[in-house]
Structure 1
Amino acid sequence: MKYFKWLSVVFLFICMILISPMVNAQSVVQASSPPILKINQYYILFTYPTSPYVDQNNRLLVPLRSLSDLLGADVAYNKGKKQATINFNNHHLVLTTGSKEVTIDQNIEQMDTIPVQKRNALYIPLKVMLEYLDVDGAYNANTKIIELNNPKYMKNTPQLTQETQDRVGLDENQNAFQVTSYQINLGATDKKAGIWKGSITYTSKNVTGKTIEQGKEDIHSSYMLANGNSQGELYKYMREKHSAVKPGESITKTRTLIGNTDLAYIIVKPYAVK
């Protein structure tokens, strides 16, 4: 009975997507990695309007809005001045589109790259947050992962971090797998149907040094739309599809995405059930 209950939940979610009012047409998106942004145990693979990306100066740029959603920063953008303001950890920072100059607590500094406009969103270098706003994190050159760690982060996106009911109470190792690469492909909105479709493929490596038994691997994703609707993957009723993973071995998964408004976030949660 529980299985059919969950099928009903999934069906209801799809119906919500199909009948809720459409906000914008999803643009065609293709994104891949590395480097990869990781916040606590969550790998952030997409942040509207496109995934974090590396610029020509080898700096990871992220959308301004994601700093508010994912880290809890107070952000604003002045279109006339082309300036962004960020208030975080008792610091006040001002950046200007296309300029290396940054004002931090009324002191002027020089960055080694510039904020840029991309698909009507301002992207800023994440390094600025690490250097000037006391963000808890660092870049791991070996794994090519930028890791931000603080229990306060990800509090503004509960739709992404909440788990499906079939996963409540599981005893898990949250550091068993490491996402090493991903590929996102999103098609433009079908105007007649009012929906877009796409997919995400991600690869994760067993870093425990031990074999993770069949049925214990739990690498799943969640995604959220601009209207707040979200969907996570089930675990218990799909255990027969989970494989044993040897030490250092990688597994790749592909998931279909669908929506009637812009995609906001995709995260991957790699666990091993004890």
Structure 2
Amino acid sequence: MRKSIVAALVAVLCLLVPMASVSAETLRNDALKLKLNGAFLIYSKGTMPYVDANNRTLVPLRVFADVLNGEIKWNNRDKTVALTSSALTITATLNEKEAIINGEGVTLDSSITNKNGTIMVPAKWVADGLGASINWDKKNKVVSLNDDKFFQEGPLASMNNEQHVDTQFNANIIPLSISYGEKDGDELMKMTIFNNSEHVYQQTELQDHLLVFIDSEHVIEEGTKGETNSDRSDLRLITRIDSYKTYEYYLPVGRLDKQQLQIDVPQYAFIRFYKYS
């Protein structure tokens, strides 16, 4: 009898352990950076992008599902995952180096994998399936994908709502890390950025746009320029951003990794830097 009680308790504890902690990663110095149409992924409830042993860049599949307003289905029996969207379909089996992309079979020296509960997909599969460009900045560890289908539908479409943007100007500002610090009695998110260009930004010239995705009905947004200016970050208080220099500033979002957004645990967050005309 006692053995059965102990066994039951162990079974309950095994069920509880995965629920007790939610893995999350924030952008850190020297980490790989994913940039989609100029927007950087800076936080993920789960694994951030990384380079695997075959030198392939793996990215969270859920991010691309939402960026393309798609759907993911997981078959636990076959360990098969399917992404379906109007722009891209991918079906693959976990740890197998083959996939069906837009109805055609492909083979690569990498595979979809599950890392710490996050389904990761080779970025090349996404790029090839979309016919999108993919670029690698080795010095700054930035993987960039650009496609006019990104951020067009669904809750992430607000990533495109900046107004009066100087589209001819490449605001080559790279986020390096997220940390947290106290300012005026509040603990805020602190962003470290690097000006990866010859251009010197003067005060009020540069704007940031932060989008925190929680679920399909809850998105927190800071820093869009329209009839009212909602940029409450300290970025525009920096008097001068010299070329190839690093700076820090605060964003009034609280802690992404400690559930202080009062709604739920964020799924991920993007930030874009741009010049407005």
TM-score by length of 2: 0.69
Aligned to 1:182: 177
AA at the equivalent of 2:244? G
Can you list the C-alpha shifts for 1:106-128, whole angstroms capped at 9, x where unaligned? 65443212222234332111111
Aligned to 1:161: 159
Does the residue aligned with 2:173 lie in a helix, a strand or coil? strand
Give unmatched runs, 5+ long, in structure 1: 1-23, 186-196
AA at the equivalent of 2:204? G
Deviation at 1:174, TM superposition (A): 5.3
Q: Report if aligned partners of 1:173, 1:272 keep a CA contact under 8 Å in 2.
A: no
Deviation at 1:229, TM superposition (A): 3.4
Of residues 214, 223, 248, the one that matches 2:212 is 223
Deviation at 1:161, TM superposition (A): 1.4
Aligned to 2:59: 62
Aligned to 1:50: 47
Can you list the C-alpha shifts for 1:188-231, whole angstroms capped at 9, x where unaligned? xxxxxxxxx88453323152x23211222323433222352313
Of residues 188, 191, 195, the one that matches 1:205 is 195
Of residues 266, 272, 275, the one that matches 1:269 is 272
Question: Aligned in 2, Cα 1:113/1:49: closer, same or farther, shift over 3 Å?
Answer: same
1: distance between equivalents of 2:88 and 2:159? 27
Give unmatched runs, 5+ long, in structure 2: 1-18, 181-186, 224-229
Does the residue aligned with 1:129 lie in a helix, a strand or coil? helix
Q: Report if aligned partners of 1:175, 1:270 keep a CA contact under 8 Å in 2.
A: no
Can you list the C-alpha shifts for 1:246-267, whole angstroms capped at 9, x where unaligned? 2233323344333241211211
AA at the equivalent of 1:82? K
Question: Aligned in 2, Cα 1:198/1:243: closer, same or farther, shift over 3 Å?
Answer: closer
1: distance between equivalents of 2:246 and 2:131? 31
Identity %: 17
AA at the equivalent of 1:127? K
Relative to structure 2, which stretch is displaced further, 167-176 or 259-268?
Answer: 167-176
Can you list the C-alpha shifts for 1:150-190, whole angstroms capped at 9, x where unaligned? 23211233475165xxx7546576522331522468xxxxx
Greater radius of gyration (CA) = 2
